[in-house]
A and B are shown apart, each in its own frame.
Chain A
Protein backbone atom coordinates (compact mmCIF):
# COMPACT_ATOMS: atom_id res chain seq x y z
CA UNK A 1 0.00 0.00 0.00
CA UNK A 2 0.94 3.60 -0.49
CA UNK A 3 1.81 6.24 2.04
CA UNK A 4 2.06 10.00 2.32
CA UNK A 5 5.08 11.08 4.34
CA UNK A 6 5.38 14.55 5.77
CA UNK A 7 8.62 15.89 7.22
CA UNK A 8 9.30 17.11 9.75
CA UNK A 9 6.51 15.95 12.08
CA UNK A 10 7.22 18.85 14.45
CA UNK A 11 8.72 22.20 13.53
CA UNK A 12 9.67 24.99 15.89
CA UNK A 13 10.61 28.27 14.28
CA UNK A 14 11.51 31.82 15.14
CA UNK A 15 9.52 34.89 14.17
CA UNK A 16 10.45 36.01 10.65
CA UNK A 17 12.12 32.72 9.79
CA UNK A 18 11.63 31.00 6.45
CA UNK A 19 10.44 27.43 7.03
CA UNK A 20 10.06 24.57 4.56
CA UNK A 21 7.75 21.59 4.94
CA UNK A 22 8.05 18.53 2.71
CA UNK A 23 5.60 15.92 1.50
CA UNK A 24 6.23 12.69 -0.42
CA UNK A 25 3.67 10.21 -1.76
CA UNK A 26 4.17 6.85 -3.40
CA UNK A 27 0.64 6.37 -4.71
CA UNK A 28 1.67 7.81 -8.09
CA UNK A 29 -1.10 10.38 -7.57
CA UNK A 30 -1.28 13.36 -9.91
CA UNK A 31 -2.84 15.93 -7.57
CA UNK A 32 -1.35 17.07 -4.30
CA UNK A 33 -2.58 19.57 -1.71
CA UNK A 34 -1.40 21.61 1.24
CA UNK A 35 -3.94 22.54 3.92
CA UNK A 36 -3.60 24.43 7.15
CA UNK A 37 -5.64 23.30 10.14
CA UNK A 38 -6.35 25.72 12.96
CA UNK A 39 -8.55 24.92 15.90
CA UNK A 40 -12.13 25.91 15.13
CA UNK A 41 -11.37 26.93 11.55
CA UNK A 42 -11.43 23.67 9.69
CA UNK A 43 -8.97 22.94 6.91
CA UNK A 44 -8.02 25.85 4.68
CA UNK A 45 -6.47 25.23 1.29
CA UNK A 46 -3.09 26.89 0.78
CA UNK A 47 -1.89 25.47 -2.55
CA UNK A 48 -2.62 22.53 -4.76
CA UNK A 49 -0.95 21.04 -7.82
CA UNK A 50 -2.51 18.87 -10.50
CA UNK A 51 0.76 17.69 -12.02
CA UNK A 52 4.53 18.12 -11.82
CA UNK A 53 5.54 21.81 -11.98
CA UNK A 54 1.91 22.96 -11.69
CA UNK A 55 0.81 25.28 -8.88
CA UNK A 56 -2.71 26.52 -8.08
CA UNK A 57 -3.44 29.00 -5.28
CA UNK A 58 -5.92 28.16 -2.62
CA UNK A 59 -7.78 30.60 -0.38
CA UNK A 60 -4.85 30.98 2.04
CA UNK A 61 -1.83 31.26 -0.26
CA UNK A 62 -0.60 34.65 0.96
CA UNK A 63 2.53 34.19 3.06
CA UNK A 64 3.35 30.84 1.48
CA UNK A 65 5.24 29.47 -1.51
CA UNK A 66 5.00 25.96 -2.89
CA UNK A 67 6.98 23.80 -5.27
CA UNK A 68 6.11 20.59 -7.12
CA UNK A 69 9.54 19.48 -8.24
CA UNK A 70 8.41 16.03 -9.24
CA UNK A 71 5.21 14.04 -9.26
CA UNK A 72 5.87 12.37 -5.94
CA UNK A 73 6.83 15.44 -3.92
CA UNK A 74 5.23 18.75 -2.96
CA UNK A 75 6.93 21.22 -0.65
CA UNK A 76 5.52 24.23 1.17
CA UNK A 77 7.48 27.25 2.40
CA UNK A 78 6.31 29.62 5.09
CA UNK A 79 7.98 32.78 3.84
CA UNK A 80 8.04 34.58 7.20
CA UNK A 81 6.84 32.79 10.32
CA UNK A 82 4.49 34.82 12.53
CA UNK A 83 5.13 35.07 16.27
CA UNK A 84 3.00 32.71 18.42
CA UNK A 85 1.71 30.99 15.31
CA UNK A 86 0.55 27.43 15.94
CA UNK A 87 -1.04 25.23 13.31
CA UNK A 88 -1.00 21.82 11.71
CA UNK A 89 -0.09 21.64 8.03
CA UNK A 90 -1.61 18.72 6.18
CA UNK A 91 -0.50 17.34 2.85
CA UNK A 92 -2.90 15.26 0.76
CA UNK A 93 -2.93 13.58 -2.63
CA UNK A 94 -5.43 12.08 -5.04
CA UNK A 95 -5.39 10.32 -8.39
CA UNK A 96 -6.94 11.40 -11.67
CA UNK A 97 -10.51 10.64 -12.52
CA UNK A 98 -13.76 12.18 -11.46
CA UNK A 99 -14.52 12.69 -7.81
CA UNK A 100 -11.70 11.10 -5.93
CA UNK A 101 -11.34 12.10 -2.30
CA UNK A 102 -7.80 12.97 -1.22
CA UNK A 103 -5.82 10.90 1.25
CA UNK A 104 -3.98 12.79 3.97
CA UNK A 105 -0.56 12.59 5.52
CA UNK A 106 -0.05 12.76 9.29
CA UNK A 107 0.73 16.44 9.36
CA UNK A 108 3.49 18.81 10.41
CA UNK A 109 2.87 20.66 13.65
CA UNK A 110 4.30 24.15 13.59
CA UNK A 111 5.04 26.35 16.60
CA UNK A 112 6.61 29.77 16.28
CA UNK A 113 8.35 31.27 19.29
Chain B
Protein backbone atom coordinates (compact mmCIF):
# COMPACT_ATOMS: atom_id res chain seq x y z
CA UNK B 1 0.00 0.00 0.00
CA UNK B 2 1.27 3.47 -0.88
CA UNK B 3 2.21 5.38 2.25
CA UNK B 4 3.81 8.58 3.45
CA UNK B 5 5.25 8.86 6.96
CA UNK B 6 6.55 12.09 8.44
CA UNK B 7 8.72 12.64 11.47
CA UNK B 8 8.90 14.12 13.96
CA UNK B 9 5.22 14.88 14.62
CA UNK B 10 6.20 18.13 16.30
CA UNK B 11 9.39 20.16 16.50
CA UNK B 12 10.23 23.14 18.67
CA UNK B 13 13.21 25.25 17.65
CA UNK B 14 14.84 28.41 18.86
CA UNK B 15 15.12 31.11 16.27
CA UNK B 16 18.29 30.43 14.29
CA UNK B 17 18.46 26.75 15.28
CA UNK B 18 18.64 24.74 12.03
CA UNK B 19 16.99 21.33 11.71
CA UNK B 20 15.49 18.84 9.27
CA UNK B 21 12.07 17.26 8.78
CA UNK B 22 11.79 13.77 7.35
CA UNK B 23 9.31 12.25 4.93
CA UNK B 24 9.62 8.58 4.06
CA UNK B 25 7.47 7.10 1.34
CA UNK B 26 6.51 3.88 -0.31
CA UNK B 27 4.83 4.26 -3.66
CA UNK B 28 4.88 2.30 -6.87
CA UNK B 29 6.73 4.43 -9.40
CA UNK B 30 7.24 7.84 -7.82
CA UNK B 31 5.94 10.58 -10.12
CA UNK B 32 6.52 13.47 -7.80
CA UNK B 33 7.02 14.30 -4.12
CA UNK B 34 5.54 17.54 -2.86
CA UNK B 35 6.12 19.72 0.16
CA UNK B 36 3.37 22.00 1.38
CA UNK B 37 3.12 24.43 4.26
CA UNK B 38 -0.16 24.66 6.17
CA UNK B 39 -0.97 27.48 8.56
CA UNK B 40 -3.78 27.03 11.12
CA UNK B 41 -7.21 27.31 9.48
CA UNK B 42 -5.70 27.55 6.00
CA UNK B 43 -5.22 25.25 3.06
CA UNK B 44 -1.89 23.67 2.09
CA UNK B 45 0.42 26.13 0.36
CA UNK B 46 2.69 24.63 -2.29
CA UNK B 47 6.43 24.84 -1.62
CA UNK B 48 8.38 22.31 -3.73
CA UNK B 49 8.13 19.42 -6.16
CA UNK B 50 10.89 16.81 -6.41
CA UNK B 51 10.88 14.17 -9.10
CA UNK B 52 14.05 12.10 -8.90
CA UNK B 53 16.62 10.93 -6.38
CA UNK B 54 19.39 13.47 -5.91
CA UNK B 55 17.21 16.43 -6.78
CA UNK B 56 17.28 19.49 -4.51
CA UNK B 57 15.12 22.63 -4.41
CA UNK B 58 15.63 25.77 -2.32
CA UNK B 59 13.46 28.68 -1.29
CA UNK B 60 14.65 31.20 1.24
CA UNK B 61 15.50 29.25 4.43
CA UNK B 62 14.05 25.98 3.13
CA UNK B 63 15.80 23.27 1.14
CA UNK B 64 14.17 20.04 0.05
CA UNK B 65 16.10 16.93 -0.95
CA UNK B 66 15.05 13.54 -2.27
CA UNK B 67 16.43 10.00 -2.12
CA UNK B 68 14.84 6.78 -3.35
CA UNK B 69 13.07 6.24 -0.03
CA UNK B 70 12.75 9.61 1.68
CA UNK B 71 12.81 13.35 1.45
CA UNK B 72 14.16 15.92 3.86
CA UNK B 73 13.09 19.49 4.38
CA UNK B 74 16.02 21.36 5.83
CA UNK B 75 15.30 24.61 7.63
CA UNK B 76 18.31 26.89 8.03
CA UNK B 77 18.29 29.61 10.70
CA UNK B 78 14.50 29.52 11.08
CA UNK B 79 12.45 32.53 12.10
CA UNK B 80 9.18 32.61 14.06
CA UNK B 81 7.28 33.17 10.79
CA UNK B 82 8.41 29.71 9.65
CA UNK B 83 6.12 28.22 12.31
CA UNK B 84 3.54 26.05 10.52
CA UNK B 85 2.70 22.45 9.76
CA UNK B 86 4.78 21.07 6.90
CA UNK B 87 3.08 18.42 4.81
CA UNK B 88 4.69 15.91 2.50
CA UNK B 89 2.69 14.25 -0.28
CA UNK B 90 3.30 11.94 -3.21
CA UNK B 91 1.35 11.26 -6.34
CA UNK B 92 -0.43 7.98 -6.27
CA UNK B 93 0.75 5.18 -8.57
CA UNK B 94 0.63 5.38 -12.36
CA UNK B 95 -2.44 6.91 -14.02
CA UNK B 96 -3.56 8.78 -10.93
CA UNK B 97 -3.08 12.41 -9.94
CA UNK B 98 -4.36 12.08 -6.41
CA UNK B 99 -2.01 13.18 -3.66
CA UNK B 100 -1.28 10.90 -0.72
CA UNK B 101 -0.39 13.01 2.29
CA UNK B 102 1.56 12.35 5.45
CA UNK B 103 0.29 13.57 8.81
CA UNK B 104 2.70 16.49 8.80
CA UNK B 105 5.29 17.97 11.13
CA UNK B 106 4.12 20.83 13.32
CA UNK B 107 7.02 23.28 13.59
CA UNK B 108 7.19 25.99 16.24
CA UNK B 109 10.02 28.50 16.16
CA UNK B 110 10.49 30.61 19.27
CA UNK B 111 12.26 33.99 19.35
Asked if A and B bind, the verdict is: no
> Which B residues are within 8 Å of any A CB, using their own CB?
none
> Which A residues are within 8 Å of any B CB, using their own CB?
none
